[in-house]
Amino acid sequence: MQYTAEIIKPRWQTFASYFLLSFICLMLLGTIAYWWILDIRFGATQIALYLLLSAGSAMGVTLGAKRIKVVIGEGSDVMEQAVVNALIVNGQRLKQQVNKNTLLESQHVFNKLFWNWFGTELTSVNYTDGSVVVEGPQRVIENLKSSLKRTTS
């Protein structure tokens, strides 16, 4: 079984979504603190600090949600089904299946609650031109590669 793996560039949309979410939360907490403790100053430096904190946390989360694309060269319907079954055994759940495209998500409540914001934890399996293309989070793809090595060797 031959496969090639490549790291997918982080999406700008994920960064912007996390940035806005963290900035709104920080502004809300800062406003509540300002109303309760009237001694603190709420000005341009406070907003600049919120912008820097939001950018840093959004950058960390976006880069931490690394996605990997694996192309399995000797693809067939049997191999596609083996890949989907290996993902299901490793804790994924079938979310959507249309023709040769399958979308899976985590079964674990913790993963769905804390890691799957803005679709970063979804795994897709596509069968095209004699190859199976799997795209998903790094930990899911690493588990898939090790389970496929065990089954094929």
pLDDT on residue 113: 63
pLDDT on residue 77: 66
- pLDDT digit string, tens, across residues 26-85: 999 888 887 787 666 667 888 899 999 999 999 998 888 788 898 887 766 677 778 888
- pLDDT-based confidence at 16, cuts 50/70/90? very high
- pLDDT digit string, tens, across residues 131-152: 888 898 888 888 888 887 776 6
Both tokens of 57, joined, read 């946390």
> Exposure of 141 by Cβ count < 10 A (0-12 exposed, 13-18 middle, 19+ buried)?
buried
pLDDT on residue 53: 95
Radius of gyration, CA atoms only, the chain: 20
Task: Answer whether residue 86 shows pLDDT above 90.
Answer: no
- pLDDT digit string, tens, across residues 97-144: 888 888 888 877 776 666 666 777 888 888 887 788 889 888 888 888
Q: Write the CB contacts of 83 (distance below 8 Å, at least 6 apart in sequence).
A: 72, 125, 132, 134, 144, 148
Predicted TM-score of the model (pTM): 0.74
Average pLDDT over residues 80-94: 83
The amino acid that residue 21 corresponds to is L
**Residue 111 per-residue DSSP state:** I
- Cα 144-130-153 angle, rounded to 5 deg: 40
pLDDT on residue 115: 64
